[in-house]
Amino acid sequence: MNIVFLTHPDWMQSSSMPRLARMFGEGMKSKGHRVSYWTSKPCLGRFAKRSGSLRKWLGYLDQYLIYPWSLAKNVRNQPDGTVFVVTDQALGIWVPKITHRPHVIHCNDFLALRSALDQFPENPTKWSGKVYQHFIRRGFSRGSHFVSISNATNRDLQRLTLRPPLSAEAVHLGLNGDFRVLDDRTSKEILKSKLRGEEATGFLLHVGGSQWYKNRGGVIALYRAWASRTERPMPLWMVGTEPEESLRVAARDIPNGGTVRFLAGCSNEEVIAAYNLASLFLFPSLEEGFGWPIAEALACGTLVLTTDAAPMTEVGGDAASYFRRWSAVDKTWASDGAELIDSLLSLSQREREKRVQRGLEHAGKFTTKTALDAYEEIYERVVKSWSVETEAIR
């Protein structure tokens, strides 16, 4: 099978999507398929600085006005039986150029589109973003075959596409990294440059970026409420991107000597070690495309407290503990969450071990091999059905 993966350009300084495309592609290569990666090249974008709004907008012109012309030409030159795989529905503007050939569109999350449709009051979208998402939606709606990262994302697709797809299903990605249980000695050795004093005996942990839906402010609110009722509270580690100043301000003057530490630039091994040493992982996200940190924490034997909503419930299954979604008008959210934190930290050793084992078993379902096998079956099915339809027309 000849597979062409269409992916975000790495020159736009977005590393996660190109990395995901490489995972798809190298997995298909290992199965003996011919693989190539296509993306737009910097034309107008090379005249701007490496970052900033001008480069972003020139990059959009390169991707969505200039590149489609060469994409259409290259599609015509590919042999029959080629399947074109769009690695993110946000590249929907390219989709009309491949709809006459076998194709599959991967859907990772629809949070930006739903924000543009005013579905999230926490994340209002400017008019320019609404126009941008309109074109993306119109583009991917021309597609026929879709695969989503979660059942929740697949349901969003069904609601948001402008016409019913021929096929749409969910396939969970495998864990992107060697997330595993480590003994305390190994974890402490990996984190020796970061650990401070009593942190070696435990801390609360959050892993996530600065996106609005990660609810980092809610994490600190939970910690503050818990610290206010706890003598000598253990620290909170916030692992991820550098925080905004407002988040740093929120993290000051925690009651009873509580402390919030922001750790940016951690290596994968350091993140794995942090999961292992953490007494509890807090993940009160408002929304997610999937919520990989939940599966990562479970795979490291960490107890998890996350939001009682899809897809977090999909990832955590019966292995995680759940709490209602944050709301600006919910005045008891933090205090009620603090009670849950107390109850989880107070579990008996036997109950804790049972939950850890349940989490390890559940996280074992998220394997790269299972995902790649499912993708291969979908790609082959689409090519086969396309060939049958083409022969019927002839």
Tokens of 107: 């859907």
What is the band of 391 on the pLDDT scale with cuts at 50, 70, 90? very low
> Which SS3 state, helix, strand or coil, does residue 91 take?
helix
Lowest mean pLDDT among 14-23, 197-206, 320-329: 14-23
Instruction: Reply yes or no on whether the pLDDT at 58 is more than 90.
Output: no
Provide, rounded to the nearest whole percent, the portion of the chain with pLDDT above 70: 94
Least confident stretch, 50-59, 93-102, 368-377: 50-59
Single-letter residue type at 19: R
Type and span of the H or E element at 70: helix 67-76
Cis peptide before 96 (omega within 30 of 0): no
Task: Name the percent of the chain lying above pLDDT 90.
Answer: 83
Q: What is the DSSP code (8-state) at residue 348? A: -
Q: Is residue 222 scored above 80 in pLDDT?
A: yes
pLDDT at 45: 60
Render pLDDT for 295-336 as a digit per residue (tens, 0 to 9).
999 999 999 999 999 999 999 999 999 999 999 899 999 999
pLDDT at 274: 97
Mean pLDDT, to the nearest integer, of 230-248?
95
pLDDT tens across 246-270, in order?
999 999 999 999 999 999 999 999 9
Q: Which residue has the higher pLDDT, 43 or 157?
A: 157
- Calculate ∠ Cα 237-311-377, nearest 5°: 120
Which residues fall within 8 angstroms of residue 18, CB to CB, at 6 or more apart? 7, 8, 9, 10, 39
In the predicted model, what is the mean pLDDT of residues 179-205? 92
- Residue with the bigger pLDDT between 201 and 120: it is 120
Domains of the chain: 2-174+368-393 (3.40.50.2000), 184-363 (3.40.50.2000)
- CA dist 219 and 199 (Å) reads 18
Tokens of 210: 């600065």
Largest CA distance in the chain: 78
> What local confidence, expressed as pLDDT, does residue 204 receive?
98
pLDDT band at 15, cuts 50/70/90?
low
Average pLDDT over residues 371-386: 95
pLDDT at position 286: 97
pLDDT for res 394: 39
